[in-house]
Amino acid sequence: MENTKQLLEKIAQFDIQKSEDLPYSILTYLYNRIGSKELLHSEIIESFLNPKSEHQCGCFFLFNFFKLIEIDKCHYETETEFNIYTEYGIENQRRIDILITWEDKITKKRSAIIIENKLNDATDQRDQLKDYYASISKEFEVLKIVYIPRDLSKKAPLDDLSDEIKKLVINIYPKDLTKWISNVPINEDVKVSCASYSNLLKYMNLKNLNAMNANLLLEGLNSNEIKSLVNLSKIVNSVDWNSTIFSKIKEKLNVTYPNVRLEIKENRYAEIFHANEDPFWIELYLYSDYFALWIADKSIEKDAINPAIKNLHFSHDTISKYHYFKNENMHNYEFPSEDKYSKLVEDISKILEVSKLV
């Protein structure tokens, strides 16, 4: 038990992300409507990187990006003139998503950084990185080939690349881009833009949260701790776990209403009703960390439950031959939050009380 307690205390220190923790941004709705999303990302990233961009921050974002991808300062000067391109055309009708080039004014040395944007999960084309390097290296020394996949499960394809090219490839992810633009100059307009794009990147990872959290645990726990975690997960994902939680609800209700019945119909669903088996009943759904509360009846004209429906601001929804009343915006109860847990029992009690079934 002590080892389990220590494991849980350690996990509590990790930055485990939940979907409800993601920030709100109207940009996410616009993003869903845009067809060429890969080009959108390239243009946004280019706008940050370009010293001539309207953000008026000069090389601030560009030099921070150089730090992110580990470009040594010996390769550039503050006064260097940089060129940033999107959809840069090369041989074989290929296009480089983002290309950065510059020339040293003294040595005349010409350098380049190739950026391959996969934030929209585009498929890797055969010999793509190899062809990029072959074309650009004719005129420039390629310092890095930056590959940006959407999630941690993907990396740049290195098969068929020479060792010379492989050592130039670096993978960066949305979380790295978010950190890159989080260090913002004192400029409110730019701060808002950075926050908007950062929120979009976080929104895009909504479907990847489990993979990101799994990677966090795998990297942060040793083998014995992972085994203990797996054993714990078997308990909390079992039918017995949910049955035990429902039994706690029943125990609390029976203190006031000893004749109330709670029957588990499925692994995560229970019905609560009076012992007389009136057509009215309460439905309780248990999700991973919260409850949802509904009222159900065979007749919409049921006078006994109308006060409860009104008091709880439930709306009517007919499913099959039954009438359901719910308000999912108001009546979701966190578990095991004790105040929400108690509020659930309180609201169920109110329904039972005003229905005059007890």
In a domain, residue 349? The reply is yes
In a domain, residue 194? The reply is yes
% of residues, the chain, pLDDT over 70: 85
The Cα–Cα gap between 69 and 82 comes to 17
pLDDT value, residue 42? 92
φ and ψ at 231, to 5 degrees? -65, -40
Structure-token match 């074309």, residue found: 135
User: In this structure, are 243 and 195 located in the same domain?
Assistant: no
User: In this structure, are 197 and 298 located in the same domain?
Assistant: no
Whether 151 has a pLDDT exceeding 50, the answer reads: yes
Helix axes 209-220, 223-236, angle to 10 degrees: 140
- Poorest-confidence range of 101-105, 236-240, 287-291? 287-291
For the segment 235-255, the average pLDDT, to the nearest whole number, is: 87
Sorting pLDDT into bands at 50, 70 and 90, what band is 296?
Answer: confident
Q: 224, 97, 105, 217: which is closest to 148 by C-alpha?
A: 97
Overall residue count recorded for the chain in this entry: 358
Q: Which two tokens stand for residue 124?
A: 């890797």
In a domain, residue 267? The reply is yes
Q: Which two tokens stand for residue 141?
A: 């020394």
Give the type of residue at 92.
Answer: N
Q: CB within 8 A of 91, min separation 6: which ones?
A: 131, 135
Whether 238 has a pLDDT exceeding 50, the answer reads: yes
Q: CB within 8 A of 279, min separation 6: which ones?
A: 297, 298, 299, 302
In a domain, residue 222? The reply is no
User: In this structure, are 168 and 245 located in the same domain?
Assistant: no
Domain with residue 284: its CATH number is 3.90.1150
Q: Which of 207, 222, 248 is the last residue of a domain?
A: 207
pLDDT value, residue 250? 87
Q: How many domains does the chain have?
A: 2
User: In this structure, are 154 and 303 located in the same domain?
Assistant: no
Q: pLDDT, tens digit, for every residue of 339-349?
A: 777 888 888 88
User: In this structure, are 75 and 159 located in the same domain?
Assistant: yes
Sorting pLDDT into bands at 50, 70 and 90, what band is 85?
Answer: very high
User: In this structure, are 96 and 180 located in the same domain?
Assistant: yes
For the segment 299-325, the average pLDDT, to the nearest whole number, is: 69
Q: Which of 190, 207, 224 is the last residue of a domain?
A: 207
Question: Domain limits at 288?
Answer: 239-354
Q: pLDDT, tens digit, for every residue of 125-138?
A: 889 999 999 999 99
In a domain, residue 221? The reply is no
Quickly list DSSP for 210-253. Answer: HHHHHHHHHHHS-HHHHHHHHHHHHHHTSHHHHHHHHHHHHHHH
Q: 9, 4, 15: which is closest to 235 by C-alpha?
A: 4
User: In this structure, are 293 and 188 located in the same domain?
Assistant: no
pLDDT value, residue 358? 41
Sorting pLDDT into bands at 50, 70 and 90, what band is 7?
Answer: confident
- Mean pLDDT score across all residues of the chain: 82
User: In this structure, are 130 and 175 located in the same domain?
Assistant: yes
The Cα–Cα gap between 333 and 327 comes to 12
User: In this structure, are 201 and 305 located in the same domain?
Assistant: no
pLDDT value, residue 132? 95
Whether 103 has a pLDDT exceeding 70, the answer reads: yes
In a domain, residue 29? The reply is yes
Whether 47 has a pLDDT exceeding 90, the answer reads: yes
For residue 174, the tally of other CB atoms under 10 A from its CB is: 23
User: In this structure, are 275 and 324 located in the same domain?
Assistant: yes
In a domain, residue 72? The reply is yes
Q: Which of 185, 207, 229 is the last residue of a domain?
A: 207
As a dihedral over the C-alpha atoms of residue 121, residue 190, residue 34, residue 39, rounded to 10 degrees, the angle is -50
For the segment 159-176, the average pLDDT, to the nearest whole number, is: 92
User: In this structure, are 197 and 297 located in the same domain?
Assistant: no
- Poorest-confidence range of 71-85, 194-208, 298-312? 298-312
Q: Which two tokens stand for residue 7?
A: 């494991």
In a domain, residue 2? The reply is no
Contact (Cβ atoms closer than 8 angstroms) between residue 241 and residue 247 = no
User: In this structure, are 167 and 61 located in the same domain?
Assistant: yes
Sorting pLDDT into bands at 50, 70 and 90, what band is 219?
Answer: confident
Claim: this prediction has a pTM higher than 0.85: no
Contact (Cβ atoms closer than 8 angstroms) between residue 49 and residue 60 = no
